[in-house]
Amino acid sequence: MAEMTYEQFEAAIFRMTSIDLTAYKEKQMKRRIDTLINKHKISGYEDFVKELKNDKKLFEEFVNYLTINVSEFYRNTDQWELLDKTFIPEMIGKYGKRLKIWSAACSTGDEPYSLVMALSRHIPLNQIKIIATDLDKQVIAQAKNGVYAAKSIAGVPEDFKKKYFTQIGS
């Protein structure tokens, strides 16, 4: 029986995780995956898929390795301004203040926390409900912890920095 091809591997990973590896540059992704396979001394894609199905820890390591966690508070400030001045008021006008929001692939939580701050200009905090999810359990734990470097919050408007952040350490 022939070894599983990379295309078959992509299909198997999609069935297991819903992560579409075809959306990434094949050469770069293949190199990253091959590095992980070699690190665990696994003989190829077919055996790696078997190991992923049987080893929860390896599966989590693989998903964490694949997902790229890029996050920053108020990244793309023009978009946040548009959201604040136009989109949020339109949504409230159309649906009322009880909006249901899902932040998928929230990484370390920067975007959902930014969204809460932006919404707080229009809706009382106790009425804001956002569900934030990510495949990577490590970044979810970091988001729940809520501790960020000063660099991460550089784009946050000053009034929000004063209201929602407390500096710890020096």
| Strands 129-132 vs 100-103: parallel, antiparallel or unpaired | parallel
103: helix, coil or strand?
A: strand
Per-residue confidence (pLDDT) for residue 70, from 0 to 100: 62
- What does residue 62 show for φ and ψ, rounded to 5 degrees? -65, -50
* Complete DSSP assignment for 129-166: EEEE--S-HHHHHHHHHT---GGGGTTS-HHHHHHH--
Sequence spans of domains, the chain: 6-66, 77-164
Per-residue confidence (pLDDT) for residue 75, from 0 to 100: 83
For residue range 143-166, what is the model confidence (pLDDT) as tens digits? 999 999 888 898 999 999 999 999
Does the pLDDT of residue 1 top 70, yes or no? no
Per-residue confidence (pLDDT) for residue 13, from 0 to 100: 92
Q: Give 64's DSSP letter.
A: H
State percent of the chain over pLDDT 70.
96
Which CATH number does the domain 77-164 belong to among 2.60.120.200, 3.90.550.10, 3.40.50.150, 2.40.50.140? Answer: 3.40.50.150
